[in-house]
């Protein structure tokens, strides 16, 4: 049996930053540290932090008064920031900078009086947080989940419309939705730079290449991780059998009964240790397992909050972009 590893795979710069922020908060302030929502969508990462004294909550009302809280990589609405200030909760913000970019775009569209079509999953925390950054008539921002939504949505002024997207979507799924909106609203404004993040696009591009080399594709990731689910969808669209497992114990040998080559990748919220454990499981079945890789790893880094940079050490801080 042969395994081909995709590059890039696993943690993106936004996830690395969020995880490191929570690590440094634990080191500097000690437990308990509260976090609003899972820091990233991976149960193994979350469970490790819980064991070390992090308390994850969905609402700030569950945080004791005056206790420090970390906002997850998915971002929050301004209303959550106001609630934290009102309750005297010190905040450390781990929002991915690329999500912040979308927040700023939506806020700018609101100031310009545009109706905004926000392409994404209505119940995803990133979309919920982004909606709150539209400081205008709430009837002028619409979540678009499908082509059908795009065909039916209306705007107060068809000449003043714009769109933004959830950062973790598949570009192939977004393009036809945008095409419908552009046909119906010829003056549709687009983001100055794509909202789908570089890491999402790079991993989707890599899994397409991977599918061309493999008989079966295996994605390590959790069902609640949007970018991991999208990787599965992209691989499946090539016609190659594709499976997702959140850890090594979930991998089933029968998935590979007709395979000679397994393509292996991981979502952007998956630590490399989980990939290593999957490889160990495969090696248990096939001791002579051959492992190769395709593509190049990413080198992008994001700066930490200034309040924590000094705790990361000068070499780490200097390496951030």
Distance from C-alpha of 211 to C-alpha of 235, rounded to nearest angstrom: 6
Distance from C-alpha of 180 to C-alpha of 309, rounded to nearest angstrom: 44
* Six-digit token string for 41: 């969508």
Catalytic residue chosen out of the listed positions 58, 126, 148, 254: 126
Query: What is the longest distance spanned by two Cα atoms in the chain?
Result: 64
Whose CA is closest to 29, among 316, 307, 255? Answer: 307
Distance from C-alpha of 142 to C-alpha of 116, rounded to nearest angstrom: 6
Q: If DSSP codes are grouped into helix, strand and coil, which group holds residue 265?
A: strand
Distance from C-alpha of 97 to C-alpha of 109, rounded to nearest angstrom: 19
285, 253 Cβ separation under 8 angstroms? yes
Concerning whether 27 is annotated as a catalytic residue, the answer is: no
Between the alpha carbon of residue 23 and those of residues 27, 31, 115, 126, 149, the distances in Å are 6, 11, 40, 22, 41
Distance from C-alpha of 308 to C-alpha of 70, rounded to nearest angstrom: 12
The burial of 201, by beta-carbon neighbours within 10 Å (0-12 exposed, 13-18 middle, 19 or more buried), is given as middle
Exposure class string for 102-118: b at 16+ Cβ within 10 A, else e: bbebbbebbeeebbbbb
Distance from C-alpha of 55 to C-alpha of 62, rounded to nearest angstrom: 10
Q: Please give the positions annotated as active site.
A: 126
């Amino acid at each position: 049996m042969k395994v081909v590893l995709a590059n890039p795979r696993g943690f993106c710069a936004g996830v690395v930053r969020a995880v490191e922020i929570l690590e440094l908060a634990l080191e500097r302030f000690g437990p308990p540290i509260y976090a609003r929502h899972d820091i990233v969508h991976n149960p193994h990462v979350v469970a490790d932090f819980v064991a070390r004294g992090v308390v994850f909550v969905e609402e700030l009302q569950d945080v004791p008064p005056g206790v420090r809280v970390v906002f997850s990589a998915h971002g929050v609405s301004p209303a959550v920031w106001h609630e934290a200030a009102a309750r005297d909760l010190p905040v450390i913000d781990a929002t991915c900078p690329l999500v912040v970019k979308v927040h700023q775009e939506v806020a700018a569209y609101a100031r310009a009086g545009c109706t905004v079509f926000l392409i994404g999953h209505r119940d995803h925390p990133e979309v919920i947080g982004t909606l709150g950054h539209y400081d205008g008539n709430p009837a002028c921002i619409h979540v678009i989940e499908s082509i059908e939504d795009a065909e039916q949505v209306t705007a107060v002024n068809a000449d003043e419309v714009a769109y933004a997207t959830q950062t973790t979507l598949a570009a192939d799924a977004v393009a036809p939705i945008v095409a419908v909106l552009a046909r119906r609203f010829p003056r549709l404004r687009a983001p100055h730079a794509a909202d789908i993040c570089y890491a999402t696009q790079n991993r989707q591009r890599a899994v397409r290449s991977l599918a061309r080399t493999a008989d079966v594709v295996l994605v390590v990731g959790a069902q609640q991780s949007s970018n991991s689910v999208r990787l599965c969808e992209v691989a499946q669209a090539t016609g190659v059998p594709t499976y997702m497992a959140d850890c090594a114990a979930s991998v089933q040998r029968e998935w590979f009964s007709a395979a000679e080559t397994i393509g292996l990748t991981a979502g952007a919220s998956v630590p490399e240790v989980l990939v290593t454990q999957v490889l160990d499981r495969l090696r248990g079945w096939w001791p002579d397992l051959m492992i190769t890789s395709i593509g190049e790893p990413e080198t992008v880094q994001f700066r930490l909050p200034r309040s924590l940079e000094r705790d990361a050490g000068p070499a780490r801080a200097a390496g951030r972009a």
